[in-house]
Amino acid sequence: MENQIEPSASNKPVALVTGANQGVGFQIAKALAENGYIVYLGSRNFSNGEKAAAEIGGTVHAIQLDVTQQSTISAAVERIGKESGRLDLLVNNAAISHAGKPGRTLEETMKSGKPSIASLDEIRAVWETNVFGVIAVTQATLPLLRKSAAARIVNVSSGLGSLTWIADPACWAREHFDVIYSASKTAVNAVTMAFAIELEGENIKVNAVSPGFTATALNNFQGTDTVEVGSREPIRVALETDGPTATFTGPDGPLPW
């Protein structure tokens, strides 16, 4: 049976974190729970979500959520509405780096993202999760967010999405800017700004945040930060109830759009 939210916890803030069964999303969910939140831990694979929620424990509840499937988004929103009545925080964390053939080396994956040869099918698949998924989940949860006294939306982006940084000839990541993953994060930044502008009058904060140079397969494990360290800024932004809106920050502070 599904865990039901206990009535005594109804005064706790409520959060939904997508793609939270591992990595940065898992760390965000864990930190929110430690700070008194009821957390809906979104996972495309429900079994993986249940394992992650059990590992954290407390007021963390697994919820089946594939951001590319509207039916699962609608079901998740309906469940949150019935159990908690509102949503105070949405963290759009779910993302994929590529959608090509499995087993490719990192070098092969990066090379395939070059704009002159990138597969349109792979671009569409990655953008479906990274961009359209963010829009779909945000649109679907807005009715619940509008019931909060201090609603926030946090979109997990990447420094690679900064056109200002990438345009600098001295940028070390310039040669890695591709139309599959990197450009999808630029689009996430644009989506963040669009929602921030529209929702500013409703006092709903919308911000983008980069985990920074975290050691993952995305950077051939050359990152200098662990997942725990890389999660610090996303966690800070997620927990900030009285901060500004329309910001893009990373571990070292503000990032250029």
Query: Which active-site residues does the annotation give?
Result: 181, 185
> Under 8 Å CB-to-CB from 83, ≥6 apart: which residues?
4, 5
Max Cα-Cα span within the chain: 57
Copy the structure tokens of residue 136. 């779909």
CA 218 to CA 206: how far, in whole Å? 25
CA 255 to CA 237: how far, in whole Å? 14
Copy the structure tokens of residue 13. 């803030």
CA 228 to CA 232: how far, in whole Å? 7
CA 239 to CA 221: how far, in whole Å? 28
